[in-house]
Amino acid sequence: MQDHHDMHYQGGPHDHDQPPSGTLTEPPAHGAAQAPGAGHMEHAGHGQHDDDHTVHTHGQHAGHSTAMFKNRFWLTLVLAIPVVYFSPMMADLLGYMPPEFPGSAWIPPVLGTVIFFYGGQPFLKGGLQELKDRTPGMMLLIGMAISVAFAASWVTSLGIGGFDLDFWWELALLVAIMLLGHWIEMRALGSAQGALDALAALLPDEAELITDSGTETVPVSHLNPGDLVLVRPGARMPADGTVVDGQAEFDESMITGESKTVARGTGDPVVAGTVATDSSVRVRVTAVGDQTALAGIQRLVEEAQASSSRAQALADRAAAFLFYFAAGAGVLTFIAWTLLGSVPDAVTRTVTVLVIACPHALGLAIPLVIAISTEQAARAGVLIKNRMALERMRTIDVVLFDKTGTLTTGEPELKDVAVAEGAEPDAVLALAAAVESDSEHPVARAIVRAAKARNLTLPSATGFTSLTGRGVRASVDGRTVHVGGPALLRELGVVEPGTLAASTRAWMDRGAAVLHVVDDGKVLGAVSMEDAVRPESRQAVSALQRRGVKVAMVTGDAHQVAQAVAADLDIDEVFAEVLPADKDKKVAELQARGLKVAMVGDGVNDSPALARAEVGIAIGAGTDVAVESAGVVLAGNDPRAVLSMVDLSRASYRKMWQNLVWATGYNILSVPLAAGVLAFAGVVLSPAAGAVLMSVSTIVVALNAQLLRRLKLNPSEVR
């Protein structure tokens, strides 16, 4: 750990989170086949992404957007009102007389036809696709029901065969409710493309190319390996490269998730998308475009998201069962009644069976639960972006936490003070704080904060000077006082007293950074700086373990640092010294053991792992890319919110099953009755009665979903 102390004011004591020099510049799997869109890093996605108009490419929503379902729902609802009101079947059922005027009888057929072709189009197209793919699901079930209702209703409206199968009102309500259900459902899906847009936006559009005649502003796409570029203070790196002249503090939070800056000087690697915060540097380009580390991470995000987007929804499985059940029941019904010599009854019974086989309740069972769950979660600071994350969280075997910024604060904290013989701890800390008081470095702020917490009076310090890579210096009461790491001691030619060395060695063994306080060439004492563990982390880890969920941790830190945090929190498994691009491999390693993984992280380097895991959970204070890559986002930094997600997942899954059992159970009972299996006993479910029971089923499902609101999800209340 001595190198970490040498790096004081080159990123502070947390540089142990950084990977070894050179690792960030190696694009993961850059020799692999390029994922679609990976070559558009320079300029793609700089605009705001609109999830409402995102066209989904997988599953039953392929080719559809949230906005499409929303627009079709509202127009269908407006048209459905007069259809229901003027429907003879509804009028007979409720005992009212709709007004009659020339053409009034044609309102349900005309508007119902518009609803069928306009509102029903997504279900008709989706049903045909499911039929072609031989994967019957919700779309085919809905398409079959509305097609049969449409045909039967026109036969009735035209007076053909004397049938009384006026299903215009049922067709209108079914289409409206199903559009509503799919709109609610798609709003919960989120958009994978947002993560790729956020990654692309990290790169600047232009770069300052250094030429023989000076500097020239060129598009980033014109850069080539070997080019020399000038990066000014506040500017982003346009490509991966190596610093050849100058030294600057770089903000690498978009890559590492770390809030502290890291000093990069001659010979050090720098990464596309990072920011030089305080000085200009000249950088020799080593990788551009698809070959950069950022592009490699983008490919991993894209590939991981594609691999986890094909899961089948619970309602689709129920719909597939009901399709086969309804189709089989319909065929048997028609054959049985025809053999009994009653073709009109055969048609009536068959149509009734096929129409009521698609209950409103099934279309709303899952979306209603997800909508209420999403609302309840949001009140607890948990944003559910992906519906499957909600379903999967109950099955999670292990939660893999990124250490820095997730289980820890990501900020240095003064842990201990040790002194040489004859010195007082409070006096040494006050002296260190006085010297550091003019610095804005996170380490300096932590030392000053600790001194203030102990109510120490600080002596006056003047002539503050930063000694890059070694420490700081100031004058206190006419004496020269230094604060810094081992490199400072070597430069000053002083030796740490043996009584002090025993303490500092123990600190270094557990991964702490050590800063010495030197007064006029004499070492008075030392302080240890460590990444502060969040108080909530202990509660989160123990509560997850009580729920039967294991806890693992992944970090770029050295093993001794990781083990110290793991021992403090009683974590089950630790992955240390993991390179940024390799975190998703640790997720895959756990999955290879047969474990279902939830990943919790906050940096761009976490985003492939977030997308690869069964459930990706992003700390909301992290980078936009991590947030976009995750299925769940924690609005705050409280890891106990993961517990809220576990409890909500288990409760909502119970509600989903209860609703599905009710919805499908209704069908299993009503379809045989509609088919006339008890006709010999005088029990026959009429079309009108079947439609009413469907509405009752929908109300029951809605009320059951509302019970989720009683669940307590506030992280501070979860035990």
Phi-psi region of 461 (alpha: psi -120 to 50; beta: other; left: phi over 0): beta
Query: What spatial distance separates the first Cα and last Cα of the chain, rounded to whole Å?
Result: 37
* Calpha distance 235→316 (Å, rounded): 49
Whole-number CA gyration radius for the chain: 33
DSSP, residue by residue, 332-372: HHHHHHHHTT-HHHHHHHHHHHHHHTS-HHHHHHHHHHHHH
Q: Tell which residue, 235, 267, 240, 262, has the closest CA to residue 250.
A: 262
- Tell me the three-class secondary structure of 41-65, residue by residue: CCCCCCCCCCHHHCCCCCHHHCCCC
* CA pair distance 686, 689, nearest whole angstrom: 5
Neighbour count for residue 508 (Cβ, 10 Å) = 18
381-398 as b/e, with b when 16 or more CB fall inside 10 Å? bbbbbbbbbbbbbbebbb
Is 568 among the residues known to form the active site?
no
* Helix axes 168-187 and 360-379, enclosed angle (nearest 10): 30
Q: How many beta carbons lie within 10 A of that of residue 693, not counting itself? A: 18
* ∠ Cα 320 595 19 (to 5°): 125
Contact 296, 287 (CB under 8 A): no
Question: Residues 250-265, buried b or exposed e (16+ Cβ, 10 A)?
Answer: bbbbbbbbbbbbbbbe
Could you give the maximum distance between any two Cα atoms of the chain, in Å? 115
Angle between helices 121-133 and 138-157 (to 10 degrees): 120
Detail the DSSP E strand segments found in 469-521.
Answer: 471-476, 479-484, 513-519
**Are the CB atoms for 474 and 463 separated by under 8 Å?**
yes
- The catalytic residue among 345, 402, 582, 584 is 402
Do strands 398-402 and 550-554 pair parallel, antiparallel, or not at all (unpaired)? parallel
Smallest CA-to-CA distance from 671 within 356, 375, 421, 454 is with 356
3-class secondary-structure state, position 531: strand
List the catalytic residues: 402
